[in-house]
Amino acid sequence: MTHRRALLAAPFLLAARPVAAREVADATGRRVQLPARVARVFPAGPPAAILVYTLAPDLLAGWPGRPPRPHEAAFMDPAAAALPEVGRLTGRDNTANLEAVLAARPDLVLDYGSVAPVFAQLAERVQAQTGLPTLLLDGSLAKIPETYEMLGVMLDRRPEAAQRAAAASRIIAEARDASALLAQRGRPRVFYARGPRGTETALRGSINAEVIEFAGAENVAVGPPGARGLAQVSVEQVLAWDPDYVMSLDPAFIAMARQDPLWRSLRAVRQGRLVQVPNTPFGWVDFPPGVNRLLGLAWLPILFGLAPPAGLEDRVAAFHQLFYHRDPDRALLRGLLAPAMGRG
């Protein structure tokens, strides 16, 4: 997740809080009073929105940033995909103020991502200014099963949460096994290109590249000591890194790189390892860095040659059924998968 900051432009307001009936703890250990029944959740940013959608789409107040586009909605529950834009409290493009949060009439504000002290303080500030219970859950990949269990308690959806926690645990365990095999065989070196020109990337250790590194590959984009997050780089720098794979969620970049003389001079591009990461309805590597990245963990071992591609379509379809609440159209799904396997 990129750097986050709150945009709370409205004057100090307090919502009428329902009588608290139970106390829960979030991932930072903050103890918060919740009503007996949570009927509406305001997501602080896109990762939180997707998390709530995967577990309890009927409780989601809306989509921060923008609602799903038609080609994304085709893979989603129609009622949830049609929810309105509610603005966002976190990230570089925050648009929600206190009035917007209160107008959504939520029982709970949920953030999902870094649990560093600055974000725990943000949750405290939002709670103080809105009078609404505000919880922060850990967005790291390894914590996804635990996060579902915690959210199942908060939303009283324990059986549904247990299903998703178990599925996430299997994917994570398989990814760890694949990473160990790559460590023995030799880690593929990956450049993750963002944007239509491919010159933005996620530095090693950032949440935006966590899937690549968790799967056992080496992120070639290393910044100054201690640097994390996103950075601008030149094509010449990418040539110097000489990655084994170039990956991108952006089809415009993929098309450009296949024609541009500089990008075409890269060994990875010449050898057919310019890979389009699936990004519908949500990205498999980031965009946003949420639970949607589990599909990236399931896919990368196949891309790196540790498992055969047979069965990937069925496995992705099963994930969509459980997490995205829709059995995907198989023709659409095959169109999504083909570029990811070098057939697009």
Phi and psi dihedrals of 259, rounded to 5? -110, -30
Q: In angstroms, rounded to a whole number, what is the distance separating the alpha carbons of residues 305 and 309?
A: 9
Provide the pLDDT for residue 8: 47
**What separation in angstroms does the CA of 341 have from each of 59, 129, 170, 172, 268?**
35, 48, 22, 21, 14
- 82-103 burial: b if 16+ Cβ within 10 Å, else e: ebeebbbbbbeebebbbebbbe
CB distance 293 to 284 below 8 Å:
yes
**Distance between terminal CA atoms of the chain?**
29
pLDDT digits (tens, 9 = 90+) for 204-226: 999 999 999 999 999 999 999 98
pLDDT digits (tens, 9 = 90+) for 17-67: 445 589 999 999 999 999 999 999 999 999 999 999 999 999 999 999 899
Provide the pLDDT for residue 87: 85
CB distance 43 to 61 below 8 Å:
yes
Instruction: Tally the residues of the chain.
Output: 344
Q: In angstroms, rounded to a whole number, what is the distance separating the alpha carbons of residues 68 and 270?
A: 35
Is the per-residue pLDDT at 15 higher than 70?
A: no
**Mean residue pLDDT across the chain:** 92
Q: In angstroms, rounded to a whole number, what is the distance separating the alpha carbons of residues 81 and 203?
A: 32
Helix (H) or strand (E) holding 113: strand 108-113
CB distance 333 to 316 below 8 Å:
yes
| DSSP 8-state class, residue 19 | P
pLDDT digits (tens, 9 = 90+) for 79-121: 999 999 998 887 655 566 788 899 899 999 999 999 999 999 9
Provide the pLDDT for residue 1: 42
Task: List Cβ neighbours of 319 (8 Å cut-off, separation of 6 or more).
Answer: 167, 294, 295, 298
Q: In angstroms, rounded to a whole number, what is the distance separating the alpha carbons of residues 94 and 92?
A: 6
Q: In angstroms, rounded to a whole number, what is the distance separating the alpha carbons of residues 231 and 247?
A: 16
